[in-house]
Amino acid sequence: MRSSFSPRRYLMCPPTHFRVTYSINPWMDPTKPVDLALALAQWEDLRDRYRALGHTVEVLEPRPDLPDMVFAANGATVVDGRVLGARFAHPERTAEAAVHREWFHSHGWDEADVREPVHINEGEGDFAVTDSWLLAGRGFRSSPLSHPEAQEFFGRPVIGLDLIDPRYYHLDTALCVLAGDEVMYYPDAFSPGSRAVLARLFPDAIVAEEADAAAFGLNAVSDGHHVLLPQAALGLCDPLRDRGYEPVGMDLSELLKGGGSVKCCTMELRSAD
């Protein structure tokens, strides 16, 4: 069994003001109604599940003018207790970056450890941390120039990965870090060269089928043992169990209407130790 649990600290933002009034990814259809009460209940289930598993969940105050704030993963990337802020690609989300930076400033982070980036990056939407690398998506949102910027800031080798399918517009819709250098991913979301890179770095990865990727199954959060993922991604459960992980199915159907699920709602606050 390679998996091993460790308690995590997460930042989440309730979908109090969630709505789909604009479309910046193919999942967002402003003509489709959103059940806000259900969205809130589903989000609370996720938050409560993390807490029940022994994790700390910090809560960011939502803003009425920022309906996508529930997707807290996009607001920054935190590694070794240092924060690389976000810079959003779309004007609809621009103001979220400062709200996140402000949260870090008012919650004990040193000014020097919170960086406002020069280049566009959508936080953990496009950055994924493994033991050896910082995996970095590009193609739809984060600028390729954000990759050397992150490498310089974190001092971790960045592996740039090209996303080619608009349905998988963020790296975290197509790849999930399970533990150490173990990942699961959906190859067709990546360019042929990036697919070859992934196969070389992660020869033992769980390779997802299209149906599980389309159910947002890669938009998952692992604590090293439990893997919280959309419950419709049934095909990932056995491969996860075979590797010693415990899949935990969650229903975030309402948030999928915004183009996000478990991981998008969850930023990990990684400390220095």
Sites of contact with ligand ARG (CB under 6 A): 24-25, 28, 68, 71, 73-74, 93, 125, 170, 172-173, 258-260, 264
Rounded to a whole number of angstroms, the minimum distance from the CB of residue 68 to ligand ARG is: 4
Of 91 and 108, the one with the shorter C-beta distance to ligand ARG is 91
- Tell me the H-state helices in 91-224: 96-105, 146-154, 192-201, 210-214
Catalytic residue among 13, 176, 237, 264: 264
Rounded to a whole number of angstroms, the minimum distance from the CB of residue 191 to ligand ARG is: 19
Of 62 and 258, the one with the shorter C-beta distance to ligand ARG is 258
Of 66 and 197, the one with the shorter C-beta distance to ligand ARG is 66
- Tell me the H-state helices in 163-223: 192-201, 210-214
Catalytic residue among 170, 176, 226, 265: 170
Rounded to a whole number of angstroms, the minimum distance from the CB of residue 18 to ligand ARG is: 9
Q: Among candidates 197, 206, 128, 210, which has minimal Cα distance to 167?
A: 210
Rounded to a whole number of angstroms, the minimum distance from the CB of residue 242 to ligand ARG is: 27
CA distance 59 to 12: 5
Is 170 marked active-site? yes
CA distance 36 to 15: 8
Of 93 and 100, the one with the shorter C-beta distance to ligand ARG is 93
Is 90 marked active-site? no
Distances (CA, A) of 222 to 66, 157, 190, 245: 27, 22, 22, 9
Q: Which residues contact 109 (CB under 8 A, 6 or more apart)?
A: 81, 83
**Tokens in use for 49?**
């599940």
Of 25 and 194, the one with the shorter C-beta distance to ligand ARG is 25
Count the neighbouring beta carbons within 10 Å of the beta carbon of residue 161: 25
CB of 183 closer than 8 Å to CB of 199: no
Rounded to a whole number of angstroms, the minimum distance from the CB of residue 231 to ligand ARG is: 18
Active centre residues (catalytic):
170, 264
